[in-house]
Every structure is written in structure tokens, then in C-alpha cells.
Amino acid sequence: MQKYDLDTPCLTLDLDVLEKNLGRMQAGATAAGKKLRPHAKSHKCSILAQKQMDLGAIGICTAKVSEAEVLVSHGVQGILVTGPVASAQKATRLAKLLEKSPTLMTVVDHAAGIELLDRHLTDINLGMDVLVDIDVGLQRTGVPPAGPLGLAEQVLASSHLRLKGIQAYAGQVQHIKRYDERRAASIACMGRAAEVFTSLQAQAASCTIFSGAGTGTCEIDLEIDELTELQVGSYPLMDAEYLAIESARQPDYAGLFPAALTLLTTVISASQDTHVTVDAGLKSLYRDGGQPQVVTPEHGNLRYDWFGDEYGMLSPREGAGALPRLGEVVELVVSHCDPTVNQFDCYHVTRGSRVVDRWPIDMRGKSQ
């Protein structure tokens, strides 16, 4: 089947571009002496996670326990759940998962969370490696850099938790457009975490992991000596939000990690002179992030706008211009890959214009 014969709206994944992105990130980490533990929250696909492992990743990150359950069912090891556990339900699920996957790790950022997790692990008499989550400015999860030593002492004194290091994610700096500004912000944030890591290493020899970084700061964070592994997520797929920022050696991120992920949408109404309506709206393209980019060569002058839950609008960017005809398929780089991927059941995998495979997005809807 040819790509433009697919029913729409649908996601396509260019295998040639994907493989280059996967290889480039792994090679960069290896050259810098770092490990790669990519984040599956972006692609939500166990097949893609296994490809990352096959290339040399030491494990995979997930945001949620339910995502980790899917990966464990497919034999993936070295999973780090990057969100703290705060309920008995989650602690029970995590403990059951540990029985199947002894390399499973998670993070802690509160004394009560440490007590909860230790109590549930006592019930199954298994030990678990944990990282102290450090807040480096995002203020979403994590303990401020001044407060982790007490949590580390609590972990060390617990019955079934083993302190392995820290996690630090500067999500607030990932999409700063100018490279020099993003570099300064990331070094400041991650430098504070590096100081914490050094202090914890002096306190506990078991503290060997400093996990962090993101796709937007990967070039920068590779230079941080203390950082041991990268949690990068979006780089295999990419989106308009990331493609808009500068790279260290490229004018934009498309020169570093081009978009492998695109969305196909069909013109379903062409009754207006000023625009056409397509079949991809809010339920297909997540609105947060960058403006979706039309990449169909003959329609590069078009702008996509959301036109309701089910529909989108394509109109010329600068006054007059040729509009696609009724039934024509148009290709877009998506606004924000993570939540857009979560709207679909599968990727249609392509080489050139030919569809060669179909990969289930088997972590879709795994939000628990």
C-alpha cells in the first residue's frame, strides 16, 4: 500500500528518519560516556522501546505504572517509573510488577511516599532501587535541591528501598528557542542537581545514577560530568514545537532530529474560496505546542488551524494560493507528539511512500 492511500486521519512513521534519529541519539550518548534510558511517554510503543534497547539503551523510562506494566509484559527490563507513587493502589501495582521485573526502579520525593512504598514492599519481602527526584525549577514533582539529604537518609534507613541516585528534569527549559539562552538555563538547573548528586555520593556509595535531560537539552546536558544517563523522549518522533528551537550546530532542530512522525488528513469539504476543511481536529491533533506544519511539497504555503473537535482548516498563509481539492490527502508535522500519539491505536510505518508495517501504540490510554 502507498502512504497516501491510508484511511485518515492517521499517524505515519518514516522508518528511515526514525532509524537515523535513534542512532544519532545513542551514538551521541555513547561518545560522551553516558547511558541512554529513553522515555516511552512520547512514543508509547513497545516495539519502538525494544528498538531503543537493541541499539544500546540500558532501559526505558515511563511516566506511569500502567505504561511500565505494558513494557514488562513485552520483556523490557531496566524500567524507571519517573512519577512518584502516592496511593496504596499504585504501590500495590508497583510491588506486583517488581515481582515480575526485579530491575524495576521508581522515584521518591516525600517522606510519606517513602513510607508507603517501603510498607508495600515489606509485604512481598523484595527490595527496590529508588532515585530521589530533585526539583530544578519546574515545580511539578521533586524535592528542592536544599532538601534531599533527609529523604536520602530515610531511604537508607528503610527496610526494602535501596538508594541508587537522583532524577532531575528541567522541563521548563526544553523549548527555549535560542540555543544560548537554553544552554545557560539548563546548565544552571542541572548544575544544582549535580551538586546534590555529589553530596549524596559522599553519603552513600550506592548512589551511582544521575538520570535526567530531555530532547531539547540533550546536546547541553551531555557536557555535565556528573550526569550518568539521559531520559530523552521526543527525539525518535519529533514535532513542530521541538523543530522550532535552535540546535548548537544547526539553525533549527530539524537538522539534528528531523520529524519521523507525521499525520495524514483528507480534505472533506472544499465549498469555500478561502479555505478547505480536513478530517483532523482536536481529537486527532493536540492543541498545545507548536503550530502543525504542512509538509506536502505542493502545499507548503498552507496553514493548518483547528476547526473543532473533528475538523481542521487549511488556508493560504499569504493571501491567494492554490487550495487542495476535495478528497486530497495532506501531510502534517504534529504540534506536540506525546498527546497526539495518545489519540491513535497504531503507527503506519513507511519507507519512502510505501507502507511496510503497522506498530500498535500499546501504551495508549495507559494513564494510571
> Which H or E run includes 296?
none
318 pLDDT more than 90: no
Task: Give the residue, 355 or 322, on which the prediction is more confident.
Answer: 355
User: 365: pLDDT confidence band, cut at 50, 70 and 90?
Assistant: very high
**Residues in contact with 25: Cβ distance below 8 Å, sequence separation at least 6, in sequence order:** 36, 38, 218, 230, 232, 235, 236, 257
User: 171: pLDDT confidence band, cut at 50, 70 and 90?
Assistant: very high
Given this model, what pLDDT does residue 251 score?
82
321 pLDDT more than 80: no
Query: What crossing angle do the helices spanning 111-124 and 88-100 adopt, rounded to 10°?
Result: 50
Give per-residue pLDDT as tens, 39-60: 999 999 999 999 999 999 999 9
Give per-residue pLDDT as tens, 52-91: 999 999 999 999 999 999 999 999 999 999 999 999 999 9
Is the distance from CB of 261 to CB of 237 less than 8 angstroms? yes
In the chain, which residue ranges form alpha helices assigned H by DSSP?
Answer: 15-31, 46-54, 65-73, 88-100, 111-124, 148-157, 179-203, 218-221, 240-243, 337-341
Mean pLDDT of 324-335: 98
What is the dihedral sign for C-alpha 334, 335, 337, 339?
A: negative
End-of-domain residue from the set 239, 274, 289: 239
Same domain, 274 and 143: no
Distances (CA, A) of 367 to 95, 181, 235: 18, 33, 21
What is the dihedral sign for C-alpha 21, 295, 253, 83?
A: negative
Same domain, 91 and 141: yes
Mean pLDDT of all residues belonging to the chain: 97
pTM of the predicted protein model? 0.96
Asked whether residue 273 is domain-assigned, the answer is yes
Asked whether residue 250 is domain-assigned, the answer is no
End-of-domain residue from the set 187, 208, 239: 239
Same domain, 167 and 65: yes
Same domain, 194 and 232: yes
Same domain, 158 and 80: yes
Asked whether residue 27 is domain-assigned, the answer is yes
Asked whether residue 102 is domain-assigned, the answer is yes
Given this model, what pLDDT does residue 146 score?
84
Give per-residue pLDDT as tens, 253-312: 999 999 999 999 999 999 999 999 999 999 999 998 889 999 999 999 999 999 999 999
User: 319: pLDDT confidence band, cut at 50, 70 and 90?
Assistant: low
Asked whether residue 272 is domain-assigned, the answer is yes
Look at the block and give the residue holding cell 527496610: 159
For 263, the domain range is 3-9+255-360
Closest alpha carbon to 269 in 314, 231, 218: 314
> Whole-angstrom distance between the N-terminal and C-terminal Cα of the chain?
36
Give per-residue pLDDT as tens, 225-242: 999 999 999 999 999 999
Mean pLDDT of 320-341: 95
Same domain, 21 and 170: yes
Give per-residue pLDDT as tens, 100-136: 999 999 999 999 999 999 999 998 999 999 999 999 9
How much of the chain, in percent, has pLDDT values that exceed 70?
99
Same domain, 220 and 287: no
User: 147: pLDDT confidence band, cut at 50, 70 and 90?
Assistant: confident
- Total domains in the chain come to 2
Same domain, 73 and 153: yes
Asked whether residue 245 is domain-assigned, the answer is no
State how far Cα 297 lies from the chain centre: 28
End-of-domain residue from the set 180, 206, 239: 239
Same domain, 213 and 294: no
Cβ-in-10-Å burial (0-12, 13-18, 19+) of 151 comes to buried
Peptide bond into 9 cis (omega under 30): yes
Asked whether residue 214 is domain-assigned, the answer is yes
Q: CATH number for the domain including 294?
A: 2.40.37.20
Given this model, what pLDDT does residue 249 score?
84
Asked whether residue 365 is domain-assigned, the answer is no
Look at the block and give the residue holding cell 507548536: 290
User: 219: pLDDT confidence band, cut at 50, 70 and 90?
Assistant: very high
Same domain, 182 and 105: yes
Same domain, 77 and 167: yes
Given this model, what pLDDT does residue 285 score?
96
3-state SS assignment for residue 238? coil
User: 320: pLDDT confidence band, cut at 50, 70 and 90?
Assistant: low
Same domain, 60 and 185: yes
Q: CATH number for the domain including 95?
A: 3.20.20.10
